[in-house]
Chains A and B, each alone.
Chain A
Amino acid sequence: MNRREFLKKALTVAGISFIGGKKVYGGDSSNLSQDTVKSTGNTANRKNWLKYEAVKSRKLPTEPYAVLVDITKCIGCRRCEWACNEWNKNPNRPIKEFEESKDKAPSVFDRIRRTHAGQFTVVNRFYDGGKPVYVKKQCMHCAEPACLNACFVDAFKKTSHGAVLYNPSLCVGCRYCMIACPFDVPAYEYYDPITPQITKCTMCFDRITESQVPACVEICSADALRFGPRSEMLKLAYERINNNPERYLPHVYGEHEAGGTNWLYISGVPFEKLGFPKLDKRPIPDYSKNFLFTVKVLEIVAAAPLVWGAYYMISKNRKKKESQDVQSNEKQ
């Protein structure tokens, strides 16, 4: 074996182990979170956008809806993940596998996950003094979404129901929204070369407009999720906090964070220990609104003169060069 051959083989081995030999040699793929899904066939975002187009003319709610998540109640059964996949027609596995992950070792919970293409919500496990604490993660549906503000083709829409929706037909795939989002929510279909889209939770817009509750809320078997008008959810949150001061921290996450969100959390463990970003009351778009507006104005007003100026300079240069060439030719 000469050196070239050796290197080739070594690199192949390293490469396979790096990508994950399981995938290459067809291993056990029951571990959902690490499945690089070949195609999610995600239609949920598009469907919800069409739904939005359809209900625009209807009577809109006067107050946005919200979901209240009570972290102290969650038992980590992951049924919400199953229900979400089921309703949004994302790749799914039998519900039994989701329920079992809590008691399994190794478990899906062993690492902190984030949402990715074809999975709008994940439940993570943290430990507080040896006790497991389960935290559901999904789009927070901000009152003033950072993703919407970062998008320069207006592919996002904040509806009066509270949901933030995404329109794949406008999207150019720049993924600014992924960077703008403080909660790391929007995910991207990297494997799709032609028509990739951003995917994210839609707050089950197609359900709440038909007077149903979101799929995850409906299936929750521990009463950890509640759905209703935002003011009522806040009232409920504070009622619980006031009635059980030793069980909860006096803080509703999402009431003021980043200008308020439509998913609210109450917990007995400090939020910074549960992977929530520490945010102040200022909405994220506030930081960039004025600048982005100026950019837009410049685009419209200054684009034409700039293009013309550039053209002018180039042609002038060319003329100069030509005349120089002519002169040098004459000298010769």
Chain B
Amino acid sequence: MRNFGFIGVLLFVAFSGLGIYTSLHSEPVSKSLEAGKDIIAIAHKEVFGRLEYGTVLFEHQRHVEALAKAFKKPDEMLCQECHVQDKFGEFFFEFPKNIDRKNSQLLKNAYHEQCLRCHQKLSFEKIKTGPVILSCRECHKKGNEDMTVKYPSVEFDFSLHGKHVEKNKKDCSLCHHTYDIEEKNKELALVYEKGTEESCYYCHDLNKKRGPELSKIVKIAKQGNWGIEKAFHSLCLNCHLHNKLESKEAGPMQCSKCHTGKYKAVQELKDIPRPERDQPKTVFINIEESKMKGVPFNHEFHEKNNKTCRSCHHETLKSCKECHNLKGREEGGFVNILTAYHSQSSQMSCQGCHRSLMEKKDCKGCHYFIAPVKTEIANKEVCNRCHSGKKEIEKFALLDVSTQKIKEEVTIKHIEKDFEPVKMPHYKIVKKLTDMSNQSRLATYFHKDLNTMCKGCHHKSKEEAEAKKDNPPVCTSCHSVSFDSQAMGRPRLQAAYHTMCIKCHENMALQKPKTCTDCHERKRGI
């Protein structure tokens, strides 16, 4: 018995030791906070590297309310308590004030000093406040060491833009500016010039590689650390603040009011007027000395079907020809105009974007199997869909399946050993696919007659012998029931059906069939 007790003690010691060891050596979990209280995580890992005491979670809104109570001032009069102003009264929304933010020692001291000074001042006046002495763990709380707070980015979409345009009576200069590189005096370099309004991202997105012209400006933006976040916060918040001080209707000033994480879809923005910059409704894209005929391009339609102008105009709102030419030049990153329009891998080129649209579930059913036409081996017929040489945009007729003689139902019965025959609703499938195709402008361009739609399943209709016939080939014309030693490369009939049907249903994200018996009932008695 004593023996057992001794072993028990040993075991207990061993296990508790293990427990302590694992708890010490378990990986820290970084949690992300719900944005709601306008919490800001103060960490500055880019300056401090490894943190000695972990992140401090700062509740911005709570401080604003506390100060408002203490100083008996409305919220909008309080910013200067913590934030610094330039001589024009514009705020820089950063804290601590007036120090070199790259120097870790100075930054640390400034935080400690400026936070505590204010706390002490208030506590002298017998007002409830935060920590008044340097007691580390009161701010650097134990549980928050690896906390990160991520606010979802704000999309200044066309509806928001539209609201601002309306409110400011089409005065673009309130937000838009360009940087005059030639100007010696840096304070005067930010100028507004009508007709040059562009996206903020062109100059303030510091992570993107830009062309030679834009790079000069981005370099200057980098020096002042004017990234997207700082630029937007300065511009939006200062303006909202001024409006509020002048007791006009003003935009939000709390983090979570803008950073909602809700984004509008393209569909919701369809009816909102786009920014006016004298852009044409239709363009006839015609490159001099090129081998191909020109392409009529519906600019307006593409505006309505994209979230931003940046989707295509990746660096400037000028036309593509300004930077890209037939040979390729430095301004266009040596990308020639042919590639600029046809690159398969880019999201800014016509073909690249159109091709990625095939990934939509409505299209992918067929286009999963149909390898897209490559520019290098395209045929006349396909190229001429766009390169019509006509100035006006063609209207393509919608496909009509009602008058055609399409089989209502197809019965597949090669599986009668184990399963009941399958009744495939042939007409229903064709109807659904053509309806989808008719809804998409891009699809109507390329699906020019019903035979094109048949090719989705009847994939060998293109073969010359087959093309002469009235009807597309049926599966059994090529795929034999058992393995064909003459054509090893050809799937058996069952495999052909399964590949086509199952993959198409999968890619179109259809709910049925989920199991074997959704298509074919098992024979009774098996």
Cα-based distance from A283 to B483 in the complex (angstroms): 35
> Per-residue 0/1 for A76-89: is the Cβ within 8 Å of any B Cβ (1 yes, 0 no)?
01000000000000
B489 an interface residue at 8 Å Cβ cutoff? Answer: yes
**Which B167-209 residues have C-beta < 8 A from chain A?**
none
Contact across chains for B371 and A244 when beta carbons are under 8 A apart: yes
**Which chain B residues lie closer than 8 Å to A113 at the CB level?**
none
**Which chain B residues lie closer than 8 Å to A75 at the CB level?**
498, 502
Contact across chains for A222 and B498 when beta carbons are under 8 A apart: yes
Contact across chains for A236 and B498 when beta carbons are under 8 A apart: no
**Which chain A residues lie closer than 8 Å to B495 at the CB level?**
220-223
Cα-based distance from A75 to B485 in the complex (angstroms): 24
Contact across chains for B488 and A226 when beta carbons are under 8 A apart: yes
**Which chain B residues lie closer than 8 Å to A221 at the CB level?**
492, 494-495, 498
How many residues of chain B are within 8 Å of chain A by beta carbon?
Answer: 21
B284 an interface residue at 8 Å Cβ cutoff? Answer: no
Cα-based distance from A227 to B483 in the complex (angstroms): 11
B368 an interface residue at 8 Å Cβ cutoff? Answer: yes
**Which B354-376 residues have C-beta < 8 A from chain A?**
359, 368, 371
A243 an interface residue at 8 Å Cβ cutoff? Answer: yes
Contact across chains for A223 and B496 when beta carbons are under 8 A apart: yes
Cα-based distance from A99 to B514 in the complex (angstroms): 12
> Of A100, A223, A247, which is within 8 A of B498 by CB?
A223
Contact across chains for A211 and B489 when beta carbons are under 8 A apart: no
Q: How far is the CB of A145 from the nearest CB of chain B, in Å?
A: 26
A185 an interface residue at 8 Å Cβ cutoff? Answer: no
Cα-based distance from A246 to B483 in the complex (angstroms): 30
How many residues of chain A are within 8 Å of chain B by beta carbon?
Answer: 23
- Residue of B whose beta carbon sits closest to that of A103: B515
Cα-based distance from A100 to B516 in the complex (angstroms): 8
Contact across chains for A226 and B489 when beta carbons are under 8 A apart: yes
Cα-based distance from A140 to B283 in the complex (angstroms): 58
**Which chain A residues lie closer than 8 Å to B494 at the CB level?**
221
Q: How far is the CB of B498 from the nearest CB of chain A, in Å?
A: 5
**Which chain A residues lie closer than 8 Å to B492 at the CB level?**
221, 223
Contact across chains for B371 and A243 when beta carbons are under 8 A apart: yes
**Which B306-339 residues have C-beta < 8 A from chain A?**
none
A299 an interface residue at 8 Å Cβ cutoff? Answer: no
Cα-based distance from A126 to B488 in the complex (angstroms): 29
**Which chain B residues lie closer than 8 Å to A103 at the CB level?**
514-516
Interface centre among A100, A220, A226, A246 (most CB of B within 10 A): A246
- Residue of B whose beta carbon sits closest to that of A244: B371
Cα-based distance from A100 to B389 in the complex (angstroms): 57
**Which B476-526 residues have C-beta < 8 A from chain A?**
483, 485, 488-489, 491-492, 494-496, 498-499, 502-503, 514-516, 522, 526
Q: How far is the CB of A34 from the nearest CB of chain B, in Å?
A: 23
Cα-based distance from A228 to B485 in the complex (angstroms): 10
- Residue of A whose beta carbon sits closest to that of B494: A221
> Per-residue 0/1 for A103-115: is the Cβ within 8 Å of any B Cβ (1 yes, 0 no)?
1000000000000
Cα-based distance from A228 to B489 in the complex (angstroms): 9
**Which chain A residues lie closer than 8 Å to B483 at the CB level?**
213, 218
> Of B485, B516, B522, which is within 8 A of A211 by CB?
B485
Q: How far is the CB of A203 from the nearest CB of chain B, in Å?
A: 16
Cα-based distance from A222 to B498 in the complex (angstroms): 5
Cα-based distance from A221 to B485 in the complex (angstroms): 17
- Residue of B whose beta carbon sits closest to that of A242: B371
- Residue of B whose beta carbon sits closest to that of A218: B483
Contact across chains for B359 and A223 when beta carbons are under 8 A apart: no
Contact across chains for B503 and A99 when beta carbons are under 8 A apart: no
A96 an interface residue at 8 Å Cβ cutoff? Answer: yes
**Which A206-249 residues have C-beta < 8 A from chain B?**
211, 213, 218, 220-223, 226-228, 236, 243-244, 246-247
Cα-based distance from A228 to B483 in the complex (angstroms): 13
**Which chain A residues lie closer than 8 Å to B514 at the CB level?**
103
**Which chain B residues lie closer than 8 Å to A99 at the CB level?**
516
Q: How far is the CB of A209 from the nearest CB of chain B, in Å?
A: 14
A73 an interface residue at 8 Å Cβ cutoff? Answer: yes
Cα-based distance from A244 to B514 in the complex (angstroms): 26
**Which chain A residues lie closer than 8 Å to B359 at the CB level?**
246
Q: How far is the CB of A327 from the nearest CB of chain B, in Å?
A: 50
**Which chain A residues lie closer than 8 Å to B516 at the CB level?**
77, 99-100, 103
> Of B489, B496, B499, which is within 8 A of A236 by CB?
B489
> Per-residue 0/1 for A6-17: is the Cβ within 8 Å of any B Cβ (1 yes, 0 no)?
000000000000
**Which chain A residues lie closer than 8 Å to B498 at the CB level?**
75, 221-223
Q: How far is the CB of B361 from the nearest CB of chain A, in Å?
A: 13
Contact across chains for A73 and B489 when beta carbons are under 8 A apart: no
> Per-residue 0/1 for B57-76: is the Cβ within 8 Å of any A Cβ (1 yes, 0 no)?
00000000000000000000
Instruction: Give 20 pairs: A residue, B residue, CB < 8 Å, sorted on A.
Output: A73-B499, A73-B503, A75-B502, A96-B522, A99-B516, A100-B516, A103-B514, A103-B516, A211-B485, A213-B483, A218-B483, A221-B498, A223-B491, A223-B498, A226-B488, A227-B488, A236-B489, A243-B371, A246-B359, A247-B368
A96-B522, A222-B502 known; 20 new pairs, CB 8 Å cut-off, are A73-B503, A75-B502, A77-B516, A100-B515, A103-B514, A103-B516, A213-B488, A221-B492, A222-B499, A223-B492, A223-B495, A223-B496, A223-B498, A223-B499, A226-B488, A226-B489, A227-B488, A243-B371, A244-B371, A246-B359
- Chain B residues near A (Cβ < 8 Å): 359, 368, 371, 483, 485, 488-489, 491-492, 494-496, 498-499, 502-503, 514-516, 522, 526
